[in-house]
Structure 1
């Protein structure tokens, strides 16, 4: 029944709303903003918060690897063949968070809230091509008073290590409940989870405090 209702909605929507087709491409005119197809807007939106190699290569690779690893790291037999939220609360909430927040919301934001200059516009605001946003992005080590190159690098490495250090600490603390999982499977699952939450933390730092990078190296920026 749900599939039928959803199909009817799509059919009515496609009849009532015209496809947002623009004029034929003109190589001498660059649209502002220049947007990727909607299904890639999540990746394009991540370019605001991460370097291109991170947003376009590393993170998509981790998404694919994580999806491929699910059958091997999920050993909970409950929920096989039937639906149960009570016994698979963490798995369901993690998937919904990753899909709805880190994909669907980024697509919506990139589609409806990014205007000329890739500036952020609320849905009720007019897309002003002359909008000027005064942003002073700083690196996290600089914000904490580290000025030297090696001092900034050491502080950034410390922050990254401290973020992922919760993985072995949590395992030692909850070893009795994780004995059936195994450390290797737990480490992979925790690494993917902490990386996903790290994306959110980095985005919040950029939006709330104009933090550009946490770790700054000549060949690596995170």
Structure 2
């Protein structure tokens, strides 16, 4: 029974399957429309945000980690000092997401009944920064300091010997908080994965308050009043960031191959990998010709696809499906949202194309060190 469970988990851990499952589950767990909300209610997924749902979720996570600790293969990865923050991250992220959604669902129900949000206070009822707020922050500071001291005593610091060029670690991984970026390097050139995308993430997060025109859900928890924004944020944060960290921690093994969490990390495992650009697919595989010497002719299809995706698609959407959004947000906000959104969704597109078709780049110009 347990062996069957491990085999199923290893099978579902395949990046194509696990990523697809998360992509499908995200709009069901955080329904952005009424249609998804009806499915959410019908399947009882909304019960996850109850106290019983929190308890069951914590128990299931704990059982999974207990099984992992007892497994001879998974325990090697799970008990590494480097990976201890990932375990804490799984627990803390689940709890705080649950806490926010739990409060949001309570407020949504109160608002439907004509009541004020639970965070509402009388304007005359003021709370002083000192001593009320500072006192709470000081207690939190002390508790967290105690936690760090206990952690440093119980868990050895993951310090290793000086780098030895004759004994390179396999796999060689970045610190856990950079594993998401390291995973992006599989699908993008370093100048995109290491520079462009992080800049877009930082600027995009900073720009959210300036692009948001929704006055509802301001100052209190609410899901229904901001469900589209919450869905997009959760997909980007959970699936396109935290999942990549978990993927790089537990599923990437020797030679950067994929392994199931209960699978033995065989350093001699050979996986046939090929990297094919869109121009090679078109000229070599489809037309049976060699690649043209002229760069623009060679890459015209890739340049056209990228140009259509970034410049033509937003205009078409503004004229059709997103017509109301364009009117409400205005051209500047709309263009900004589309740029950030299309860049974000380009990551899952490239991941699927790489996994399913070995497509590495839409535009490949190695002569100029320029690949997209």
Residue equivalent to 1:221: 371
In the alignment, which of 31, 52, 59 is matched to residue 197 of structure 2? 59
Larger Rg: 2
Residue equivalent to 1:159: 305
- Alignment coverage as a number of residue pairs: 217
Q: CA deviation at 1:87?
A: 2.2
Residue equivalent to 1:128: 266
Residue equivalent to 2:158: 21
Residue equivalent to 1:99: 237
2:187–2:350 Cα contact (<8 Å) kept: yes
Cα deviation digits, residues 114-153 of structure 1 (max 9, x gap): 1111111121221111121111221122213363243331
Q: CA deviation at 1:175?
A: 3.2
Alignment pair present for 1:45 and 2:183 = yes
CA-based RMSD = 2.7
How high is the TM-score relative to the length of structure 1? 0.87
Three-state SS of the structure 2 residue aligned to 1:127 is: coil
Alignment pair present for 1:209 and 2:360 = no
2:325–2:334 Cα contact (<8 Å) kept: no
Cα deviation digits, residues 81-121 of structure 1 (max 9, x gap): 12222221110001000000111000001011111111111
In the alignment, which of 154, 170, 177 is matched to residue 32 of structure 1? 170
Q: Which moved more, 1:183-192 or 1:167-176?
A: 167-176
Q: C-alpha distance in 1, partners of 2:196/2:225?
A: 32
Three-state SS of the structure 2 residue aligned to 1:96 is: helix
2:179–2:249 Cα contact (<8 Å) kept: yes
Residue equivalent to 1:188: 336
Structure 1 stretches of 4+ with a deviation exceeding 4 A read: 17-20
Q: Which moved more, 1:140-149 or 1:57-66?
A: 140-149
Q: C-alpha distance in 2, partners of 1:76/1:202?
A: 32
2:171–2:256 Cα contact (<8 Å) kept: yes
Three-state SS of the structure 1 residue aligned to 2:224 is: coil
Q: C-alpha distance in 2, partners of 1:56/1:192?
A: 16
Q: C-alpha distance in 2, partners of 1:26/1:56?
A: 23
Q: C-alpha distance in 1, partners of 2:222/2:349?
A: 30
Q: From the two aligned structures, give the one with the greater helix fraction.
A: 2
Q: CA deviation at 1:22?
A: 5.8
Structure 2 gap segments, 5+ residues each: 1-50, 55-91, 97-142, 285-290
Three-state SS of the structure 2 residue aligned to 1:80 is: coil
How high is the TM-score relative to the length of structure 2? 0.54
Three-state SS of the structure 1 residue aligned to 2:221 is: coil
